[in-house]
A and B are shown apart, each in its own frame.
Chain A
Amino acid sequence: MALLQISEPGQSPKPHQRKLAVGIDLGTTNSLVAAVHSGSPKTLADEQGHHILPSVVHYQADGVRVGLEAKQQAADDPENTIISVKRMMGRGLHDIQQQGNYCPYRFVDNGGMPNLLTCAGEVNPVQVSAEILKVLVARGKASLSGDLVGAVITVPAYFDDAQRQATKDAARLAGIHVLRLLNEPTAAAVAYGLDQRQEGVIAVYDLGGGTFDISILHLSKGVFEVLATGGDSALGGDDFDHCIAEWIMEQAGLNAEALSTSEQRSLLSTACKAKEALTDSNEVEIHFLNWSGMLQRTACDDLFQPLIQKTIRAVKRALRDADLKVDEVAEVVMVGGSTRVPAVRQAVSSLLCREPLISIDPDRVVALGAAIQADVLAGNKRSDDMLLLDVIPLSLGLETMGGLMEKVIHRNTTIPIARAQEFTTYKDGQTAMSIHVLQGERELVEHNRSLARFVLSGIPPMAAGTAKVRVTFQVDADGLLSVNAQELSTGIESTIEVKPSYGLSDQLISTMLQDSYQHAQDDADQRNLKEQQVEAERLLEAITSALAEDGHLLNTEERQHVDREVAQLRQLAQGENAAAIKQAIEQTAKITDEFAARRMNAAVSKALSGHSIADFDTEEQR
């Protein structure tokens, strides 16, 4: 464990070289990469000057194409061209088919996230996403001319644990250090909030290609506090296209089964073009196969109404969750290409009684916000300037007797958060316990999402009801859950087996990583060593400055113990044994635990006194 370096409020950290970091908007339809350059965030273009990278991956026998080139293959080679892969992240085959979208892929069901059969072999959605990320990161490196310390990747606020984990795994496969998974609406608010220095309540309405999010935030002196979030992780512009596509088929007297996969794809792209045309004109002429006809905007609005109403209900719910009335919302931010649909803008502005903000390109605003956050996290800016406090979008809980879900952490709880729950055995001599972790709001287990099943083993045999197992849920700042368990009566730590229901196991990821390095095993070893050395360096630096500042918190004996560990770690870090360095890091961290705890306690009052009493007084008078 470690020692937090707490810089005095108002004092910036050590001057150092500017670190390069990017913000990535990994979208359903399109992706973008952005970075802060000379103080302001900009999206980065490829060599041809394109900023937007279509989130499309085309597999061929001899390689992979990503982006525009891949998109052009969509109609000709639908089975090998993966679009909207984001909808498959952290999802089972059943979920994907239930989304009701047309999917020309050849799925291979393996119980968890399904693989897709392409002419380059089986690939899973995490690998497909990793291909998109690789292109974006390469673009970042090229345009910033240097190595990146990491990236902030945005996810829909409404993404559950499995979807977030899958996104982080994709980054790992692409070799990216994830500084933070940031919620898309929060990123958008950052892009707007800092530009316009708003204080008060902001609603962010984010309707992208495949997902819908609504977030209610409170802004105060650079602190973005998410009050409530809601949405639908399977509702977006694609669904609008499907509405029009169905209308065309109805008008043309066609049915979906009669169309070939390329015809289906061409139908969708015709529908999408019609939708886009109707943003600026009142009617559009549509041609599909031998049929042609006119679609009026008013008729189109009627087609969209059920979808739009679904989003409006989510906005109302989020406001209720935040305990706010419609008139308390100071600003409305529109994000995502689908907010260009006039009927959407109209519905939102009539509900919230104000004109939404649209001054930043809704396609780029998320990436721009992510770039700002990446710049802060890389250490280029004082965190005093800006702080994001996000929430968990869906409740986390456990299966209890009778197939019911018991919530352990409620939705809209600010993260990071930890909660413990105690369980006991129900049979004499029981030595193992099976625990089912769930996410969702419904009462019955089957209506919620299964995240993982844990088997706690090694419980000492005791009479029923005497063993006490404490299960701790911890959600980190990325919104990712980890669970640990301990048998309390004996103090024995029980081992946990984690089986992610819709994720990839760590082992599978390592295998994929190795495969992707192919013959470069030596490179991988070298990289691992380098990583451990950097990690050791960071820890040593942290301990050294902690000792200099707060060495008096340790007695002589404790101090000697720490010094010995530090010396040993320093020596090992100069060698080439990665495993030994890793072990020494863990041990050093462990023995400095207590020291760190003491420092934290000392630091609390320091953090509060950093603000003058006058600040608090003014607050009180309000």
Chain B
Amino acid sequence: MLELKQNYFELFALAPSFAIDKANLAEKYRALQRSFHPDNFAAKSQQQQRLAVQCTAHINQAYQALRSDLLRAEYLLKLQGADPQLDSTTVFDSEFLMEQMALREALEEVRSAIDTEVALQELQVTVDERLKDLFQAFSNLWDQKDPAALKQAVGIVQKLHFLTKLQQQVSELEAELLDDF
């Protein structure tokens, strides 16, 4: 299977950093799609069509990896040879664990809250703010470019996984409650 050789940042002609201009990324993504999308080859040979599919699949995958903050953070670490998913030995600090427990409790209590909508929104704001802080912390560590900071960054990504999952559960609950209307 054909794969473009560049890493995802090179593919979009971007510097490998956490802070990226998403509008710029989207614009470049569309420019690449305009050139390589299978629609350009619908009347061409089957082989050209197949190649176009493989090529755009790669571009789409790269775009997804860079567009999402969490996936981009993970990809940056991967480029440095650190895979947060493989390293499962990390022990979280007790402060973080306590906070997680409190947040999960809050999630469970939403259903029985007097005003579920308000409770849900409060929780959403808390989780969103925590995520924002962690992403900022990751960005700062990444910019330091030294091994100790990188190790810390791996820990941050693991925390981000926790919180992102929680964020998902909050929106699933929102969906469930919303659909009852």
Contacts and interface: CB of A to CB of B under 8 A. Distances in A.
A378 to B, nearest CB: 6
Contacts of B40: 383
Contact of B53 (A476, A538, A601): A476
Nearest to B48: A2
Interface stretch (A293-301, A409-417, A498-506, A521-529): A409-417
Q: Which of B27, B35, B60, B178 has the most CB of A within 10 A?
A: B35
Interface stretch (A205-213, A231-239, A257-265, A608-616): A608-616
Interface in A577-622: 585, 589, 593, 596-597, 600-601, 603-608, 610-611, 615-616, 619-620, 622
A542 B31 contact: no
Contacts of B178: 316
A317 B53 contact: no
Interface stretch (B2-10, B110-118, B119-127): B2-10
Given A4-B55, A320-B175, A476-B53, A603 B42 contact: no
A596 B72 CA distance: 29
A376 interface: yes
A604 B34 contact: no
Contacts of B31: 9, 607-608, 610-611
Contacts of B13: 605, 608
B57 A417 contact: yes
Interface stretch (A354-362, A384-392, A510-518): A384-392
19 contacts: A1-B50, A1-B51, A2-B45, A2-B47, A221-B30, A313-B179, A387-B39, A416-B38, A477-B56, A538-B48, A542-B48, A593-B2, A600-B36, A607-B32, A610-B31, A610-B35, A615-B27, A619-B21, A619-B26
Nearest to A380: B43
Contact of A601 (B6, B32, B35, B56): B6
Contacts of B43: 19, 149-150, 179, 377-379
Nearest to B21: A620
Given A608-B12, A608-B31, 5 more contacts: A316-B178, A387-B30, A414-B60, A474-B54, A600-B4
- Greatest chain A CB density within 10 A among B5, B28, B40 is at B40
Interface string A2-33: 11111001000000000100000000000000
A610 B5 CA distance: 20
A597 B4 CA distance: 7
Given A596-B51, A601-B5, A223 B33 contact: yes
A383 B24 contact: no
B18 interface: no
A603 B47 contact: no
A535 interface: yes
Interface string B167-180: 00001001100110
Contact of A608 (B32, B38, B44): B32
Interface string A337-378: 000000000000000000000000000000000000000111
B175 to A, nearest CB: 6
A599 to B, nearest CB: 10
Name the interface size band of chain B.
Answer: 35 or more
Given A4-B55, A179-B42, A418-B1, A383 B48 contact: no
Contacts of B51: 1-4, 596, 600
B142 interface: no
Given A596-B2, A620-B23, A414 B47 contact: no
Contact of B64 (A413, A475, A476): A413
A620 B22 CA distance: 8
B11 interface: yes
B52 interface: yes
Interface in A382-425: 383-384, 387-389, 413-419
Interface string B53-86: 1111110110110000000000000000000000
Nearest to B30: A223
Contacts of B45: 2, 535, 538-539, 542
- Most B CB contacts (10 A, CB to CB) among A9, A320, A476 go to A476
A416 B33 contact: no
Nearest to A610: B31
Interface of A: 1-6, 9, 19, 149-150, 179-180, 220-221, 223, 225, 313, 316-317, 320, 376-379, 383-384, 387-389, 413-419, 472, 474-477, 535, 538-539, 542, 585, 589, 593, 596-597, 600-601, 603-608, 610-611, 615-616, 619-620, 622
A200 to B, nearest CB: 14
A275 to B, nearest CB: 27
Contacts of A417: 57, 60-61
Given A3-B48, A416-B53, A604-B32, A476 B38 contact: yes
Nearest to A3: B48
A384 B34 contact: yes
A477 B60 CA distance: 12
Contact of B27 (A3, A535, A604, A616): A616
A389 B48 CA distance: 19
Nearest to A476: B53
Contacts of B54: 416, 418, 474
Contacts of A477: 37-39, 53, 56
Contacts of A416: 38, 53-54, 56-57, 60
Given A180-B42, A379-B43, A604-B4, A317 B30 contact: no
Contacts of B37: 383, 387, 389, 477
Nearest to A223: B30
Contacts of A150: 42-43
B88 interface: no
Contact of A6 (B35, B42, B53, B60): B35
A476 B5 CA distance: 21
A177 to B, nearest CB: 9
Contacts of B27: 611, 615-616, 619
8 smallest CB-CB distances across A and B, nearest first, come from A2-B47, A538-B45, A377-B42, A607-B35, A418-B57, A477-B38, A2-B48, A589-B47
Given A180-B42, A604-B32, A2 B50 contact: yes
Contacts of A539: 45, 47-48
Contacts of A585: 47
A313 B175 CA distance: 9
B34 A607 contact: yes
A546 B61 CA distance: 27
Nearest to A486: B1
B94 interface: no
A384 B44 CA distance: 17
Contacts of A388: 39
A68 B73 CA distance: 59
A532 to B, nearest CB: 11
B46 interface: yes
B33 A389 contact: yes
Given A376-B39, A383-B39, A611-B27, A320 B4 contact: no
B61 A418 contact: yes
Contacts of B11: 604
Nearest to A410: B64
B2 A597 contact: yes
A414 B63 contact: yes
B64 to A, nearest CB: 7
